Amino acid sequence: MSPKSILLGFLVWLTLMPSYSSAQTVEAVSRLTADTMLIGEQVVYELNLKIPADFSFEWPSWGDTLVANIEIVNIGEPVQNSPDSENNLWIRQDIIITSFDTGFYYLPGVELRFSPPTDSIFFVAQTNPLMLQVNSVDIDPEAAFRPIKGLLDAPIGFWEIFPWIVGLLALALIIFVIVWLLVRRGKKQIPVPIISKPKVPPHIIALNQLEDLRRQKLWQAGKVKDYHSALSDIIRVYIEDCFNINAVEMTTEEILDSVELLGVNEQAFTKLARALQLGDLVKFAKAEPSGIENDMCLNHMVDFVNESHGHLLDNKAGNKELTQEQAVVKQNQVDNTN
């Protein structure tokens, strides 16, 4: 076959090859609502794909991070609009991201797969890369330290005190009936012995409260601050009741210093520290941790309660054995004297 024949065949193939008009151009675009933010703030990473309405496409799946140190807070569902006058679709997805490390971050382009209706092969359209700058909060080193603000008192509504009103009325009615019966019969009131219930151990109370908190699903309902406040209160009361440490009135650092002196398992101590410190960031720095971090904090608290309670039991067993050994030695000394 001559070169001219080959060139002629190639030109015929180009002429007959399916082509898409400018109205069917595939576009992939990514945007940020802001390319600069403070540490802990959130921005929206917007992903857009323009394809003809009869094209099929595959959307990427996401993990917990967009890139290193850029965490994904929320992943919106891909939304597509109606075809425009040129029969093109726009598919858009909004992803809320944040970061707790300062610096410049390169967000590479994302590959979006699409396929024409007459072809089973998927092609790739890549979005444009972006840059995100994360700055730290300006701190005045000469400014005086400010005390931590206390918890705000929530207003008490009628329906919150209604059960107490009903309970008091019912109690008053019961007392009235008892007194009326005693007076009518003319008998002396026989004192009723008070049977005290066995005291529930602090670790059982803490584990039950943690499980109740898990079932309430506060952070899933957007009440992240209430969730971490309750988590911190439960573990503070447990430490105070179990180890006689005034944890309710202490700061996080003071609690950790006191617990460290107890000789608790190092892994359990680390879990306690991470959970309390993340709770402080949520309550006082308006941090918004991911769902995995919220669940992990509660799991860390459960592990700490179990580990610290086991450590307490081991110490009591060791002290009991030491006391028994001292009693045996003393008895041997008495026998030798006799």
Dump pLDDT digits (tens) for 201-236.
Answer: 888 888 899 899 889 988 899 888 898 899 889 989
The residue out of 117, 135, 153 marking a domain boundary is 135
222 and 123, same domain (yes or no):
no
Across the range 244-260, mean pLDDT stands at 86
**Structure pTM?**
0.38
Dump pLDDT digits (tens) for 37-95.
Answer: 999 899 999 999 988 888 888 888 888 998 998 999 999 999 888 888 888 888 899 99
The residue out of 84, 110, 135 marking a domain boundary is 135
Low-confidence winner among 102-116, 120-134, 281-295, 308-322 (lowest mean pLDDT): 308-322
Does residue 298 sit within a domain? yes
91 and 210, same domain (yes or no):
no
129 and 47, same domain (yes or no):
yes
In the chain, the percentage of residues whose pLDDT exceeds 90 is: 22
Mean pLDDT score of the chain, rounded to an integer? 81
Does residue 148 sit within a domain? no
> Distance between CA atoms of 250 and 239, rounded to whole angstroms?
11
As for how many domains the chain has, the answer is 2
* Angle of CA points 56, 95, 25, to nearest 5°: 35
Does residue 103 sit within a domain? yes
The residue out of 110, 135, 160 marking a domain boundary is 135
- pLDDT-derived band at 271 (thresholds 50, 70, 90) equals confident
Does residue 70 sit within a domain? yes
Domain that holds residue 232: 196-323
Does residue 307 sit within a domain? yes
Using the predicted structure, report yes or no on whether residue 14 has a pLDDT greater than 50: no
The phi, psi pair for 267, rounded to 5°, reads -65, -40
Does residue 201 sit within a domain? yes
Dump pLDDT digits (tens) for 94-106.
Answer: 999 999 999 999 9
Q: Domain with 76 in it: what CATH number?
A: 2.60.40.740
Does residue 151 sit within a domain? no
115 and 206, same domain (yes or no):
no
Tell me the two tokens of residue 317. 């067993």
116 and 219, same domain (yes or no):
no
Does residue 189 sit within a domain? no
- pLDDT-derived band at 188 (thresholds 50, 70, 90) equals low
Residue (of 110, 109, 108, 124) closest to 57 by Cα position: 124
